[in-house]
Every structure is written in C-alpha cells, then in structure tokens.
Amino acid sequence: MSDLLSQISFNEIMAFEKEKRTTFVNSLNGFKTVGLIGTKSKNGQTNLAIFNSFIHIGANPPLIGFICRPSSAERHTLENILETGFFTINHINENILKQAHQTSARYDRNQSEFEETGLTEEYKNDFFAPFVKESRVQIGLEFKEKIEISINNTILIIGQIVDVYFPEEILKADGFLDLEAANSIISCGLDSYHKTKKLKRLSYAKVGKVLETIK
C-alpha cells in the first residue's frame, strides 16, 4: 500500500452525488457495533430496526444513546419509544445477519419486521418491549432523554439500562464482557459487516509507567 495519502476536501465531498456521499461519510466514521432496536406501540404493534449509531453516554447510571433520523424508516422506532418509554438493543451475530439487514427496508407501520424477517419476539421479566430471541446479547432500556441536534434535524435518544442478558461465560471477573466470544459482529458504513479478532487488552495508562498486556 502506498505511503502517500490521497486528499478529499469538503467541497469534493459535497460535489459527490447523494448516495456516494452517504456511503463515503458513513464508512469514514469507522467500524461500529450494529444492533437491532425492538419496540412495541401502545396498540401492540411491534417494530424492529437495525441501527449502527450507538454511543456510550455513561456508566453511573448506565446510559446508552443512539442517533435517530426522524425522516427515515427509523421514525417508527422513535414513535414507539416516545409513546411507551421502553426499547431493547439486541446485538447481531453472523447467524442473523441477513434478517437484521433486511429490517432496514421501508415496511409499513402495520407490518412487524419480526414477522417479515423471521426473527422471534421474546418477552421476559415483565419488560414491555420485545427482545430478539436469536440475539446473544440483549439489553432492555427505559427512555430517559431526547436531545434535538438542530444542525441537521437528527435526534439523540438516551436510555437507561434496565436488564442485560448474555451468555454467562462471556462475563469476566473485572466486569469485561467478551463480545467476540458471543460472536457479536460489527458494521462499516451502511452495508459492510465484519467479525473481530482480538489483538490484546492493555493495562490502565499512567504517566511514566510501561503498558502491560492484560491476560
């Protein structure tokens, strides 16, 4: 691979046709966890949608955020969360990759992506929103805050973790969840999916101290 780097400027990005610009900026932003957000309307209509815009907000209390585009197919998810106050995040593994990706199609409000894609609704512990049975890492969340990002009319939704479900073996003594062992996959851009291969864990960085690999 060449040592010299190519340059693309703001004006060149803006001159791309729309799909190319979307693909470019989404992939530039890097690899990220993809998850399925499960919701249910007051009337009992379930919805399932793939998102790749999750963000760690804080651990105390445990909060997860994600960006939602109200003008897109994502609006059904948003409406259900604001109407009922609950949602689930379900990690995606290789076995359910195609079904997960298919949830991004523009189904009608009265169609459930669970039925349309063949994924299975799961209810447990009296939690209102549906989990995805085929997912190996499932998180139930309570809606906490909606923040409008005026610069491009997107919304940051923040939820607080109510319950987490995962295979017992992936929880390490120090609290680390080995998601690679759970086969959670990641995405890049809007349509590329990847497995991960662990390099190492590194010790807490301190000034003047040599880093060690955590076994």
Other Cβ atoms within 10 Å of 150 Cβ, number = 6
Q: Identify whether the C-beta of residue 48 lies closer than 8 Å to the C-beta of residue 112.
A: yes
Indicate which single residue of 15, 29, 70, 118 sits in contact with a second copy (rule: CB under 8 A).
29
Shortest reach from residue 79's CB to a second copy, in Å? 19
Could you say whether residue 45 binds a second copy (CB under 8 A)? no
d(Cα 45, Cα 110) in Å, to the nearest integer?
7
d(Cα 96, Cα 115) in Å, to the nearest integer?
14
Shortest reach from residue 131's CB to a second copy, in Å? 9
d(Cα 183, Cα 14) in Å, to the nearest integer?
37
Could you say whether residue 10 binds a second copy (CB under 8 A)? yes
Could you say whether residue 90 binds a second copy (CB under 8 A)? no
Q: Is 48 exposed, middle or buried (0-12, 13-18, 19+ CB in 10 A)?
A: buried
Touching a second copy, residues 70-89 (CB under 8 A)? none
Residue window 96-115: x/- pattern of binding to a second copy, with contact defined by CB under 8 A: -xx--xxxxxxx--------
Indicate which single residue of 37, 62, 118, 143 sits in contact with a second copy (rule: CB under 8 A).
62
Could you say whether residue 26 binds a second copy (CB under 8 A)? yes
Q: Which is nearer to a second copy, 19 or 42 (CB)?
A: 19
Indicate which single residue of 41, 45, 46, 63 sits in contact with a second copy (rule: CB under 8 A).
63
Could you say whether residue 197 binds a second copy (CB under 8 A)? yes
Selected range binding a second copy among 39-47, 77-85, 181-189, rule: CB under 8 A = 181-189
Indicate which single residue of 43, 59, 126, 215 sits in contact with a second copy (rule: CB under 8 A).
59
Q: Identify whether the C-beta of residue 78 lies closer than 8 Å to the C-beta of residue 157.
A: yes
User: How many CA atoms lie less than 13 Å away from 83 in the CB half-sphere?
Assistant: 16
d(Cα 80, Cα 45) in Å, to the nearest integer?
9
